[in-house]
Structure formats: structure tokens, C-alpha cells
Structure 1
Amino acid sequence: MFVDKTQIYVKSGDGGNGMVAYRREKYVPAGGPAGGDGGRGADIVFVVDEGLRTLMDFRYKRHFKGDPGENGRTKKQHGKSRAAYEIQVPPGTTITDEETGQVLADLTVHGQRAVIARGGRGGRGNARFATPANPAPEIAENGEPGEEKKIVLELKLLADAGLIGFPSVGKSTLLSIVSRAKPKVADYHFTTIKPQLGVVETDDKRSFVLADLPGLIEGAHEGVGLGHQFLRHIERTRVLIHVIDMSGMEGRDPYDDYMTINKELEQYNLRLPERPQLVAANKMDLPGAEDNLELFREQVGENVQIFPISAATNAGIDDLIRTAMDTIEATPEFPLYEEEEEERVVYSYVEREKPYAIEKDDDGGFTITGHEIEKVFKMTDFNRHDSVQRFSRKMRKLGIDQELRDMGAEDGDTVRILDHEFEFVE
């Protein structure tokens, strides 16, 4: 089975907690702070493995969590940071943030790595907070929470050549003949629902990867039928083998089919029609095919390479495969998009958004949200008075205290952050 798109959840490791500790050596009656920092949590890293061909493994495991960093220890000993959690994916995998739609990584080369979720940094121990005014602080941070994301993995085939054409023109049959692939073959439309891969070996012992891609219909660039599934898989192929039913048995015109598919390729991506394309004039063993081929040659002109074949009798296939191999070797990796010329950068003042938001609830309480304040909240040890005071100073520094007053907060009102409630004290 070929799995080419899946959704998974990843969470990097939380940072380890810092520690509150003091020196307790003999003959050191007033030992200073000696609490160590916590270790960093594990990053979630995706790594390309050229031995993989599908995303099938992600059908059975969809949650990936990195290890948290170790907590700090006494004597200023820092907790151990965790090694990255590596997840192997096949070449051609695109990673997208499901919530924002942002492409996080486009992985194509063996060994290529991408950090998708960074581990939380370790919390600082009390040795970090010592000052002349407070030489023995009772402050230590909890570890920073790791990042968590729902991401979409999408595999775009890295086949050397792709078979394109309308449904039922013989692509699957051709692939089964020239390789060991065993695609489902039948006499009805849209047989190929998922791309099929096969390794093709020429008579002079050269080989390349050939993909039988889902059938195309008019309007595919707008997502009609299997359009988007089909088109995204041919973006990286170096050579296109356009299979056409030259017999016209289903009442189709070979030239119209040829022009329609090339028009769809052009409308999906203006660069696709520029790559080398070979025409496999299939079903030449059927009546009327020779006459249709002669007319087709006149219509397309001399610049189009046409190979009369019959997937049913194997006629002409060796010549097609040999030419495809030669064309692949002569064609470098095809860039989809030209690099834009460097534009002159113009800086302008943009007012920074507030790092928090406050909403008044129906019960008269107030709810505070915002990435920065929520992170500080999670990293605060509320069991220690000094840590609570530090969190309060952060609230004042951000302007939250004053905004609560401006919104009408009074002594005893409820203030909520995440799942916790506090009492506003003037």
C-alpha cells in the first residue's frame, strides 16, 4: 500500500526544573546558593532515509514525544540535556503545520535534517539569581515547556520518470511489464488511486524509478477528480512519459487528449510542460491505431518524440525505455521555481502587538492569555515565595496589573491563567 499523506502529533521534551539548594560543606557556615540548572528537552527532528518509500509507518504510530531534560541538582550540577528524537521519513516529504498552513520543511536529500519542534530550555537554579542585595535567593525556574504541533506529512514522489495520461490508457499495464511492480489493472476509469512505483532496468543494465501516477481528467488543476493528487506527484520527476490510447476505442481523440493534459500541467505549474516529455502511442495492436498515429504525427509536429508501443504484446517497449533512460541521464534536477532576484529591503516602523490579552468573563472574573505570560507562568514554582514575587513583578512589567485596574478589577476578583485561578489583590 502507498500512503502519501498523513497527520501526526509531535511534542518536544520539556526542560528540566532548576533547583534551590545551598552549600553544606563542613566548615562553611554560610554557604551560598548551589542549585543547578535543568537540562534541555529533546528536539523533534525529521531525517531523510533514502531506504523508505512510503509514509505507511505513520498509520500505526501518530504521536511522538521527546524526553524531558533532567532536573538540576545540588552543588551547581546541571541536569542532563536529552538527545534529539529522530523520525525517519522518505525523500520527497513535505512537512506542514496543520494549524497555520506554513510549510516547515521540504526534505529531499538522504540525511537531510529538520528540527520541527524545539525542546524546552532547562529552568535556572537559584545559583543564577544570587545578587549582592539577595545573596541567598529562594528562586528557581521550572523547565520551559516543549513545543507541540499537529503536522501534516505529504510525500511527493521522487521518481525519475512519471507515466501521465488519461485513465485507462494503459499506464498500469505498461508499468507492470517494464518493472516488478504489480499495480491493480482493470478496464474502468480511475483504477490507479495511489501512485505506484517500479524500478525499470534497461537491456544494458541501467535502471531508473518509474511512477504510475493517478489518472488525470480535465479540470485537474482546480482539484477536479484526482487532480491535486495527480499533479503534486509529478512536480519532481525529470522526464514525463505521456501514454496515449492511439486506438481511440472509447471514442476519444488522441490529439485532444494530448493537448488537454498538457494544458492542465501548464495551468497547475507553468514550468511543468518545459521538462522532457516522451509520447508512448499505446494500443498499436488494435484496429485504426496506425491511421490515428499518422494523423497524430501531423498534428503535433516533428519536435515531439513518439514511440508506437503495445503494452499487450510488448512491441516497441524496449526502445521507449532505453530513450527514457538516456533522457533522464541527460536531464539535471528540474527546479520548480526560479529564484527571485534580491529585492531592496525597506524598513518601516510596525507597532509591536501586545504580548497578552485580557477578557472579562460573564461571572465578573478576568482571563489572561498570551504565549509569553503563559510560558512564564508554567516556568514559575508557586511553592516558593520568592518565585511568586518574581512572577508578580513580571505581571507589573508587562502592564497586566494596570490594565486589570483599568478594566475595573477590584480586591477579591478572580483572575485566570490557563487552568488556574488567582485572587486580585490591590
Structure 2
Amino acid sequence: MKYSVDKNGFFGKFGGAYVPEILYKCVTDLQQAYLPIIESEDFQKEYMQLLRDYVGRPSPLYYAKRMSDRYGCQLYLKREDLNHTGAHKINNTVGQILMAKKMGKTRIIAETGAGQHGVATATVCALMDMECEIFMGATDVERQHTNVERMKMLGAKVHPVRTGNMTLSDACSEAIRDWCCHPENTFYIVGSTMGPHPYPDIVAKMQSIISKELKGQLQEKIGRDYPDYLIACVGGGSNAAGTIYHYIDDERVKIVLAEAAGHGIDTDYTAATIHCGSEGIIHGARSLVMQTEDGQIKEAFTISAGLDYPGIGPMHADLAEKGREQVLAITDDEAIYAGYELTRTEGIIPAIESAHAIAALRKMKFKKDDVVVLTVSGRGDKDVETYLSNKKMAKEYGEF
């Protein structure tokens, strides 16, 4: 594949593994083990069986007629919100916990922002009877309280992180610190296409089931296996990576990603890394990072707990730099409006993360016969309070 990772873990000039010495053996062991495990017949059989019977895959590809009429295209929604636990995150945690078992690890840690990766990790740990500890920024613990209680109910220990902005980036840093202290028995289930190699490649491969299913579903529905446009939200980049994985080298397919602009890319309150970031190192990988002139990480700001990461996965940094992805910056106002719009038009309440992708439709021009596939990465149950508290903002932006 033209845009795939190389043997050293780089997507173009982005990626790699920049880790402290104490983690060197953990990371190199994983680098050496992950492909033989993933490509083994035993792994693939158990993984696909769990995706089918436990997660509930394949997720539906739904033709959104009213939204299609509104935007003058043929809009299909890939319904990752209908997976067990309510988001795409479970695809990855099922795969990584199977890897952890095969590597003899007994303790699982993870970071989470919106809480969906935390819930998905706690879920598979309950399934596999493994110890689970989740690191979550204290700000996110407060605004995603329901997901915190779900994690606890599943048996996970949740650690509120009170450093920095107390959000996703800080949770990642704390998880890495914990991994440094327990390298022998601990497996870190990273939730997005970020972190040191091989995590960006592992997560992309686990989420690639999304685009693999799309090929068959589109063939059945429209008589060809590719769309004209793929649209997804992007924070760290996991649902976006899964949506585009099998189409990256197909130049017939336009890729459009929506990142969180917060109050706007011309303000200090934004999480739009591709628009506002520069080359740097974050959480063990070279990528685009929101940082000061002297290399200090800036705090990301967005209404979306799952998109407030001050970096981007190296895969997406490479694709954006090479012009393979078009990236649109979506403000909080635009995302809230789009969430209400999909809810009122199709009866689907999307996660606020997914609402950023919906909002991209208003910034695009389509032909009537354009086939557009948009991934609804998660459902909005966790965000109802945020939607309700910002309803006035959405109405001021326009009528539904």
C-alpha cells in the first residue's frame, strides 16, 4: 500500500517509537509479536467470532433518505453506534485483549476521553477475567459520568487524572507513567491510532473491519464496492482509520475528515491539530502537535471529550500532508447543531464526536448521484446532558 507504515513504524516522516528506556523492551516485544499474532489463523478465528457474536457485527449501512434529500447526494451511514458498548472502540479492544492474552500479560490499562474506549476496555476485561485500570481526565470524569459508572460496574478501577487540562492527553500521559512502573505484567490497550509504533498500525488494523464491511455492503446496495466520498470525525484517528483503511490507495474515493475546532481555529480554544499543529513528538510518536514555540504541548479545547487531543495519529498526519485527506475544522456550535439535525431528521442521536462528521456535510457540495458514506462512530446517550445544555446555541445557529 502506497500510504502504509514502513518496517520502522513510520508513515512518511511521521510515527516511530520515542519511548523511555524502561519501556524499550515492552515496545520492542510488541513490535516483534503483533504481526505474527494478528496474522495467525487462531487469532483471526477467535477475533472474527467475537466481532460477530459478541460485538454484533457487521454494523448496518443505512441509507439516510431525508438527509440525502437535504444535501443533494446519496448518503449512507455506517452505524458503529449500534455495536455492543455503543461505539467503534470495541473492535479494537477485542483484538488487543486477545493479543495481551497470547503475550502472557495479566493486567490491562487504558486511557479514555469520552469514556467509550474505557467502557470497551472494561467490557473485554470482564469478558476475559483480567484486571483493568482506566486513566481518565478529571474534567472528563465529570462530563462523562455515566460512562464512568459503567466502567466501575464492569469491574474496572477508574483513576481521575488531575494534571494539566485534566482531559484525554493527560490521561494518556498518566497511563504511560503507569506502564513504566509495571512493564512486565501490564498490557496497555491504546484506544486510537496514536502512541509509539506499533500502536497506530495495530489500532488501524483492528478498526479496518469497518471499511472491509463497507466494500461488501456497497456492492450489495449500489452495485460497486466503493463510494465517491468517505466522511468521519478525527481526534486521535481510530474510526477514521477504520473507515478509510481499504480505500486509502483508491484515488476514486475522496476522504474528508472533521476535526474539532472548538471556538474556532483562530482562537486559543481549539483542538484542530491538523489546522493548527506543527511537527513534534507526542506520546511516543512524531506527528503534528499543538505546541508553543519552545515545544510545550498546548491544551486542546472542544465540547467533545473524545476529540480534545492536542495531537493526531501519524497515519493521518501523513495523509493530510500528502493531500490524500481533506480535513475540515468544525466548531462546537456547528457540531451541536449537526447532532440535533441528525436526531430530528433520521431519528439517530449521534455522539458529539460523530456530530462533527455530520457537520462536515454543510461545508461540502455534492452531485445528486454522489455516494457518500459517513461513519457514525458512536451513539449520543453519553452526551444527552451536553446536547440539552447547548440547545439554545444550536437553535441560534439555524433551524433544524
**Which of the five TM-score ranges fits, normalised by the shorter chain?**
under 0.3
The structure where helix makes up a greater share of residues is 2
TM normalised by structure 1 equals 0.20
TM normalised by structure 2 equals 0.21
With a CA cutoff of 8 Å and minimum separation of 6, indicate the structure with the bigger relative contact order: 2
Larger Rg: 1
